[in-house]
Every structure is written in C-alpha cells, then in structure tokens.
Amino acid sequence: MNASVAPHSTSQYSTRIYGEDAPLFAEMVQRFLQQEVEPYFEQWEADHQVPRQLWNTLGEAGLLGVDLPEAYGGSGAEFEISQLICEEISRQGFGGVGSGYNIHANIVMPYILHIGTEAQKQQWLPKMASGEVVGAIAMTEPGAGSDLAALRTRAEKVPEGWKINGSKIFITNGLLADMVIVCAKTDPQAGAKGVSLFLVDASLPGFSKGKGIHKIGQHSSDTAELFFEDLIVPEDALLGELNKGFVYLMQELPRERLGVASQALGAMEGALQLTLDYVQERKAFGQRIGDFQNTRFKLAEVKAQIELGRAYFNQCMQRYSEGAMSATDAATLKLMLSEMQCKTIDECLQLFGGYGYTTEYPISRFYVDARIQTIYAGTSEIMKEVIARSLLGR
C-alpha cells in the first residue's frame, strides 16, 4: 500500500483562519511527512507502534508545541497552526501518528501551560517541545469512561506527597510515555467534584505499563493499559488545585475536540482525493466509474459535507481564539465531524468496490482509522447528552 495518498495543495488552509504563515507551515509539514513518515509508515503499522525516535525528530523539526511561548521551547505561533498540523497528518493518511501527536501537543501540553505552576512548566514543556519527553493523559478506566464519578484510581495524601493506586486503559501514547497526566480520586465521597490531576513521571517505582492494545485501526498509535501500585509522587506533582480536576477537564475540552475535528477534516479531504483519483482511472461497463451519475452525485455529497463541516470548524476556531468557545460548541463540532467522517469515508470506500475492502488500497486504512473518532474524546452519545442539556437547561 502506498502510504502517501493526498495531493500537496494547501488551499484549504485559509490565511484568514490559520494566519499568514499557514501555507509555509503546511508545506513544511508535508515535506516532513514525505521524508520522515511516508517511507516507514507501513512498517510502523505492522509493528503497531511508532518508533521513539519519531518524537525527537518531530521536536528537531519544530513541530511539537508550535504555539507554546518561546520561553518554553515553542515557536510562539498561533494555536491554529497546531490544528493545521493535526489535519495535514490525517489528510496524508497517517491517522495513527495524528492521534498520538494530538494527545501530546494539542492536549497534554496546553494542560500544563494553562494550569501548571511556573516550575511545572519549566520542568516539562521544553522537554516535550524537543521530543525528549512524550506525554499522555490517563482518564479512562476498565470500569469508567466518560463517567468521572466512577473513577477507582485513588490518590491518597502521605508524608512524601501522594500515593496513587489504580489502573487506566486505552491510553494513547501509553507505551512510549515519559510523563502522564493521571486523573485520580482525592475525595472519594465527592463524586466528580473529588477528582484531581497529577503529573506523573513514568519512570517512578510503582508505575508499570501493560502490553500494547491491538485495535482495528490506527495501528501505529500505541495504546496501552497503565498500572499504579503504591506509586509515590511528590507534593508538587499535583496539577492545578486539589479536587478541581473535573473543572480543568471541562475547561480544556474545546481544544481537545478541535483537535479531533481537525483530524476528521483532514481524513475526509484525503479520502475524497483518493476516490477522485480512482474513479477517473477505473472503468466498468465501458466507461470510467466517474462517468456514472451515481458516482458524481455521491462525490458531490461528500464535497458538500466537507465544506459545511469546515465552515463550522472555522467558526469554532475563531470562537476559541476569542475565548468564547463553549462546551456545547465543542460537543456539537465533535459530534458532527466525527460522525460525518465515518459516513463520508464509507461512501468513498463504496465507490472502490471490492478493492476498497483490501489493504492494498489506502482507502481501507482511512475507513478503519475513522471508526474510533466517534468513541474517543467523548462518545457521540455523550456529545448528544451535552447538547441536549444545554437545550433543556439541565
């Protein structure tokens, strides 16, 4: 399978939304992907793991934490550029790399930047920007996904700091992570209001990692189970205020879901281009598949969906930059674009016929990589509940 699947146009990155430097950043990301990812991606997919060196290479290229202040190792670019990078990785068909990148650079680093103390920022952010430290965030547990009140991982105050016991599952970057933001109960009687966040060094005694979890898609995104057994972290490992974890999670959700939406947009753009190329070459009944009215209508519907999705995405990007993007906006965006991604890529695959169901054609990877988008970062059902509560005043 050819890993590079999308053309190298940057026209979708409006300078009005992404800034004047967007075309240059997009071209730089494309060159990086061609040189450092494309030649090796099939092997990474087979290995179910990206190599640790990729993170160092991303850091050397200046692609980690691009919107961090220069004082913490970033480039001081606008946050929109980080979304552009997520989108471009997915548009090129490297969904597993995109999810790992989104967690590290678009979720974990902003948590520390927005909530952390100056000492925590200095300790972790420069190393994350260089790729020396790989980040992950650990919320989901075997018995608790979106329901934070059901968390069983506990952090107990002890003279040395905090003692953490419990486990997490489905943690992106879990195998390679050097530092993990761990959500734990610090007040077991307070439900979701008793959750705190901790910056946990993965090399500490009591921290262990399970085997990588093999998934139906995004194979190169390492996903693991994590275990904490009498893990002692220092007092200053607490991220933000005690028992304010739920508040912080809600505060950071808009950016997390923007990242998921940017991946969806990129994947849809890439899948559409693959399909356009295929239907203009493949023939059936004496004519190109693209000459059939059904094909043209299906492609028109996909294009229209992408344009509508991008319009709302751009609107949310502007709201976020103004500090006005709400949790409902984020839920609406995540629901709409993740569901749209699955449906449009399914329509694209259908036009490939039997070839679309083979791993020889990259459209199949777009298809299986898309499926997780309606599940992680909040399932579609949870997104509907968030939207409904805003409507009904609950």
Distances (CA, A) of 6 to 1, 76, 293, 348: 13, 28, 24, 14
Pairing of strands 179-185, 238-239: unpaired
CB 94 within 8 Å of CB 64: no
Contacts of 28 (CB under 8 A, 6+ apart): 61
Task: Please say which residue of 101, 133, 165 terminates a domain.
Answer: 133
Give the CATH number of the domain where residue 34 resides: 1.10.540.10
pLDDT of res. 217: 96
Domain annotation covers residue 10: no
Q: Write out pLDDT tens, residues 212-267.
A: 999 999 999 999 999 999 999 999 999 999 999 999 999 998 999 999 999 999 99
The verdict on 187 and 234 lying in the same domain is: yes
Give the CATH number of the domain where residue 381 resides: 1.20.140.10
Q: Residue 21: pLDDT band by 50, 70, 90 thresholds?
A: confident
The residue from 45, 80, 256, 269 that is catalytic is: 256
Whether 5 shows a pLDDT value over 70: the answer reads: no
State the Cα–Cα distance between residues 249 and 282, nearest whole angstrom.
48
Distances (CA, A) of 359 to 15, 221, 349: 36, 18, 12
Q: Write out pLDDT tens, residues 116-139.
A: 999 999 999 999 999 999 999 999
Contacts of 351 (CB under 8 A, 6+ apart): 275, 278, 279, 289, 295, 298, 299
Q: Write out pLDDT tens, residues 195-214.
A: 999 999 999 999 999 989 99
- Range of 216's domain? 136-243
Domain annotation covers residue 2: no
The verdict on 369 and 268 lying in the same domain is: yes
Based on the structure, what is the number of domains in the chain? 3
Please give the biggest Cα pair distance in the chain: 79
The verdict on 94 and 149 lying in the same domain is: no
The verdict on 104 and 143 lying in the same domain is: no
Q: Does the annotation mark 225 as catalytic?
A: no
The verdict on 297 and 369 lying in the same domain is: yes
